Amino acid sequence: MFYRIIFQDIKYSNFINREKQTQFQRLQNHLHQNTDLVTRENQVLREFRKELDMLVQERMSHIEELRLIHADINIVCSGGKKNFVYFISFIRRWKQQ
């Protein structure tokens, strides 16, 4: 009878150990999935930041181009009608390129 009780205790402890192992495996899988998710999100954020930086650089180049055009217009307008006609012909040639 004593052996029977010990054997039941061993079975019960094995059952508890299996349950703990199962819980641990579930937790481990959950952590692995979350780690993968965070890794992918970090990659997407890095790509987004690169794209944002490129867009800011492109915007700044457009602003610089507009500033140069505005300066050219001011030079042409201050030079009189002859320079204005030259500027219009320059713009037409530039658009054809």
Residue of 23, 27, 47, 45 whose CA lies nearest to 35 = 27
The pTM assigned to this predicted structure is 0.53
Per-residue pLDDT of the chain (97 residues; tens, 9 = 90+): 556 666 666 666 777 777 888 888 899 999 999 999 999 999 999 999 999 999 999 999 999 999 988 887 777 677 666 666 777 777 777 777 6
Helix residue ranges per DSSP H, 1-97: 2-79, 81-96
- Residue 80 DSSP code: -
